């Protein structure tokens, strides 16, 4: 997830980094008096590839100026980070502030390792509306455990030159217009290996859009706080059927058993073997690496229209700031996070320097109105206004990693029916949700 200034360079950099995928109810145990007596520096863990040195420097300088306290920034790598964070939160001297993936929060919150930030939310919002795809995964059983830090949302990336050659001058705004345009692409590109819209069958994150657009979901939280898998609900099955129809109609038959990486769907677009893919803005840079002759003027993006008549909800990738429950500097940690989440830092650094989307909805419109906003990023920013998240259950990470979601490839290839696959998925997921 990265950009360069809002110049073409920043825009390119922005595209490169976007490749990211027992709750404690206690009040802060620190307080200003304890913070003052804790000694030392505020310790902040940041993930490699998230905030740039310039951004962290700006936050730290403002924080130190206002508090007199210096900051010890420790950069972490993604490998084995879940184990490292879990271990750190269990000690008596954890990092005070931790940069967390938005879908990681539930697992750390349920163990009691993160501070409940619910009562701080209004102050932290600073009069703005956070991106729902960042806030929702950090909200567990109605309690907030992470403050949105940065985000990225997917959209349709398309080859504008190819679409123009097929007689399409403007991106579609409705599902019907999209399908009509894809038919024009097919008529204009008769090679047997060409797909108007390449979408691998095992790409469950794309299928999720159709499920959400139809009013379905992977799971629902019950009144007692437990989760119930709902992939076999009527609305979810409706979305799966609509996704399957689209996938079979506009993507290649060979893609039904594949995921996005082999072959790389960005390479297929770069080579002219497809007219469109669903990806985040990192795909722009990857496409240009495969085909340097394609400039940002040749590529465009637009939010994916839904069969519902509205834009499809997009899955939000990104990070949030958490505070360790055992931190002795909680008030200082909250002060640091408030600065990091401020509109000034979000616009002037998180977006303008690092290429991420600002953490609040109003900020999307603000940066899009700037004179040097790269037009090819428009679809990603519009998509970010309507985002959804996977279930905020600590068991969801297990579901993502245990091959359960490969059922979408089985549905796409016809190895099983949507109804049978969804029923089997629900049974497995419910067995996990039942675990404490």
- Whether 176 and 286 map to the same domain: the answer is yes
Q: What is the mean pLDDT of the chain?
A: 89
Last residue of a domain, one of 342, 357, 383: 383
Instruction: Evaluate if residue 316 carries a pLDDT over 60.
Output: yes
Q: What is the pLDDT of residue 39?
A: 55
| Better pLDDT: 208 or 280 | 208
Flag whether 266 is in a domain.
Answer: yes
Q: Residue 135 and residue 213: Cα distance in Å, rounded?
A: 20
| Better pLDDT: 39 or 427 | 427
Flag whether 424 is in a domain.
Answer: yes
- Whether 418 and 303 map to the same domain: the answer is yes
- Whether 287 and 175 map to the same domain: the answer is yes
Determine what percent of the chain is predicted with pLDDT higher than 90.
74
- Whether 63 and 87 map to the same domain: the answer is yes
Residue 387 pLDDT level (bands cut at 50, 70, 90): confident
Using omega within 30 degrees of 0 as the cis cutoff, is the peptide bond preceding 263 cis? yes
Show the CA angle centred on residue 205, arms to residues 200 and 207, nearest 5°.
70
DSSP state letter for 264: B
| Better pLDDT: 336 or 35 | 336
Both tokens of residue 226? 């437990």
- Whether 347 and 424 map to the same domain: the answer is no
Instruction: Evaluate if residue 141 carries a pLDDT over 60.
Output: yes
Instruction: Evaluate if residue 22 carries a pLDDT over 50.
Output: no
| Mean pLDDT, range 314-320, rounded to an integer | 91
Residue 31 pLDDT level (bands cut at 50, 70, 90): very low
Instruction: Evaluate if residue 285 carries a pLDDT over 70.
Output: yes
- Whether 340 and 282 map to the same domain: the answer is no
Cα 395 from chain centroid (whole Å): 18
Q: Domain count for the chain, please give it.
A: 2
Domain with 284 in it: 152-313+386-432
Instruction: Evaluate if residue 215 carries a pLDDT over 60.
Output: yes
113-126: per-residue pLDDT in tens? 999 999 999 999 99
Determine what percent of the chain is predicted with pLDDT higher than 70.
91
For the ranges 56-65, 364-373, 390-399, the maximum mean pLDDT occurs at 56-65
Instruction: Evaluate if residue 397 carries a pLDDT over 50.
Output: yes
Report if pTM > 0.75: yes
Q: What is the pLDDT of residue 336?
A: 98
- Whether 303 and 166 map to the same domain: the answer is yes
- Whether 193 and 277 map to the same domain: the answer is yes
- Whether 256 and 177 map to the same domain: the answer is yes
Instruction: Evaluate if residue 11 carries a pLDDT over 90.
Output: no
Instruction: Evaluate if residue 190 carries a pLDDT over 90.
Output: yes
Q: Residue 191 and residue 271: Cα distance in Å, rounded?
A: 13
Instruction: Evaluate if residue 36 carries a pLDDT over 70.
Output: no
Last residue of a domain, one of 342, 363, 383: 383
DSSP state letter for 274: B
Q: What is the pLDDT of residue 119?
A: 97
Cα 150 from chain centroid (whole Å): 9
41-55: per-residue pLDDT in tens? 999 999 998 999 999
- Whether 273 and 395 map to the same domain: the answer is yes
For 175-281, strand residue ranges (E) read 219-221, 227-229, 276-279
Q: Residue 402 and residue 67: Cα distance in Å, rounded?
A: 46
Q: Which burial class, exposed, middle or buried, applies to 57 when counting CB atoms under 10 A from its CB (0-12, 13-18, 19+)?
A: middle
- Whether 132 and 157 map to the same domain: the answer is no
- Whether 60 and 195 map to the same domain: the answer is no
| Mean pLDDT, range 344-349, rounded to an integer | 94
Flag whether 364 is in a domain.
Answer: yes
Flag whether 308 is in a domain.
Answer: yes
Last residue of a domain, one of 348, 368, 383: 383
What CATH number does residue 370 fall under? 3.40.190.10
Are the beta carbons of 159 and 197 closer than 8 angstroms?
A: no
């Amino acid at each position: 997830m990265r950009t360069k200034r809002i110049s073409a360079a920043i825009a390119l950099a922005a595209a490169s980094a976007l490749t990211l995928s027992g709750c404690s109810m206690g009040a802060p145990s620190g307080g200003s008096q304890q913070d003052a007596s804790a000694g030392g520096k505020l310790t902040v863990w940041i993930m490699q590839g998230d905030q740039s040195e310039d951004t962290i420097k700006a936050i730290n300088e403002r924080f130190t100026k206002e508090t007199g306290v210096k900051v010890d920034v420790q950069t972490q790598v993604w490998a084995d980070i879940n184990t490292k964070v879990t271990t750190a939160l269990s000690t008596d001297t954890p990092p005070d502030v931790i940069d967390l993936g938005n879908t990681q929060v539930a697992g750390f919150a349920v163990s009691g390792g993160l501070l409940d930030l619910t009562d701080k939310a209004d102050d932290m919002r600073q009069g703005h509306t956070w991106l729902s795809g960042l806030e929702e995964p950090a909200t567990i059983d109605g309690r907030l455990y992470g403050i949105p830090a940065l985000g990225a949302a997917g959209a349709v990336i398309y080859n504008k030159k190819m679409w123009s050659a097929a007689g399409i001058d403007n991106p579609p705004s409705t599902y019907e217009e999209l399908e009509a345009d894809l038919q024009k692409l097919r008529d204009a590109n008769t090679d047997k290996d060409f797909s108007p819209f390449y979408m691998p069958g095992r790409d469950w994150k794309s299928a999720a859009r159709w499920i959400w657009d139809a009013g379905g979901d992977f799971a629902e939280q019950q009144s007692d706080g437990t989760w119930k898998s709902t992939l076999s609900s009527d609305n979810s099955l409706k979305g799966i059927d609509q996704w399957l129809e689209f996938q079979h109609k506009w993507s290649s038959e060979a893609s039904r058993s594949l995921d996005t990486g082999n072959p790389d769907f960005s390479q297929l677009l770069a080579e002219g073997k497809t007219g469109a893919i669903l990806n985040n803005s990192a795909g722009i840079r990857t496409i240009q690496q495969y085909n340097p002759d394609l400039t940002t003027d040749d590529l465009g993006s637009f939010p994916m229209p839904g069969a519902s008549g509205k834009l499809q909800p997009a899955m939000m990738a990104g990070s949030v700031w958490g505070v360790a429950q055992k931190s002795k500097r909680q008030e200082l940690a909250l002060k640091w996070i408030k600065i990091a989440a401020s509109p000034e830092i979000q616009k002037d650094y998180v977006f303008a320097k690092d290429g991420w989307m600002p953490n609040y909805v109003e900020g999307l419109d603000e940066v899009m109105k700037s004179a040097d906003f790269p037009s090819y990023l428009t679809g990603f920013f519009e998509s970010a206004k309507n985002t959804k998240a996977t279930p905020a259950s600590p068991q969801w990470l297990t579901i993502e990693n245990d091959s359960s979601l490969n059922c979408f490839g089985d549905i796409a290839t016809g190895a099983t029916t949507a109804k049978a696959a969804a029923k089997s998925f629900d049974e497995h997921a419910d067995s996990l949700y039942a675990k404490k």
